[in-house]
Amino acid sequence: MVGSGPVPVRFFEDERGGNGGGGGAIRLTDDLPRLSASVQGTGLAEEAEARWRLVETAWQLDLPRAGVAVQADAAQDLLFVEQDRRIRRTSLTRVRAALNGYQRGCCFYCQAEVPLTATDVDHFFPWVLKERGEMPDADGVWNLVLACRGCNRGERGKFAAVPSPRLVARLHKRNNYLTDSHHPLRETIMLQTGVDTEARASFLRVRQQIARDHLIHEWEPVGAEADV
């Protein structure tokens, strides 16, 4: 289910029958091995594992009710939660594995296909804003995307520039996807940025303004394709 309806291709049939009276099963369809063999299947197993780790942890810690958000360490490529005040980190999974599904093996900015191992975990609004205290929450999962090295730190890479409004809209769409599709990072995105799409849009507008005020220069990837 994404948004208000099911996706066009189903990867399983639920044959359990109405009221759990035994018999039947969840049957995987042939589309599943087909998907895993395709380009979009790159990192599928790793992503499934990442999602599962997130779900398990959310159950264990009762994340939304406890008001605990999954946090990210982009440099270490790590998602974690902090319990208590003792700053005890519980490692969850790799940022890359958790975010790859949405981007389907493509750079967030230029949308070129990139092998998962060659992607950078990038702060959409540059990390320098956090470092200087201008955007203390810039380390949130809401602000992390996977980028090719060219876009992140190539000759005409983003560095400490502000992504264009077109790209901010794309980030908004991505974060909405994570909440609407019941992705395990849903609660975290909502805790960090707002419970509905209007709240999240306004959250991003504020961050965009902060970034513009401090970094001035706008950035677009080289040879960017228009959004569909």
CA distance between the termini of the chain: 21
From the list 15-23, 44-52, 100-108, 126-134, the region that binds Zn ion by CB under 5 A is 100-108
Of 220, 75, 58, whose CA–CA distance to 144 is shortest? 75
Between CA 26 and CA 133 the distance in angstroms is 50
Binds Zn ion by CB under 5 A, chosen from 50, 107, 162, 204: 107
Residue with tokens 């490529």: 77
Q: Is 148 in the site for Zn ion (CB under 5 A)?
A: yes
Nearer to Zn ion, 150 or 194 (CB): 150
Q: Is 151 in the site for Zn ion (CB under 5 A)?
A: yes
Measured from the Cβ of residue 192, the count of other Cβ atoms closer than 10 Å reads: 20
Between CA 73 and CA 70 the distance in angstroms is 10
- Quick note: the x/- pattern for Zn ion over 172-211, rule CB under 5 A, is ----------------------------------------
From the list 13-21, 104-112, 157-165, 182-190, the region that binds Zn ion by CB under 5 A is 104-112
Size of the site for Zn ion (CB under 5 A): 5
Three-class secondary structure of residue 146 per DSSP? strand
Q: Is 109 in the site for Zn ion (CB under 5 A)?
A: yes
3-state DSSP helix/strand/coil % of the chain, to nearest 5: 45, 15, 40
Nearer to Zn ion, 72 or 107 (CB): 107
Minimum gap (Å) between residue 157 Cβ and Zn ion: 9
Return residues touching Zn ion (CB under 5 A): 107, 109-110, 148, 151
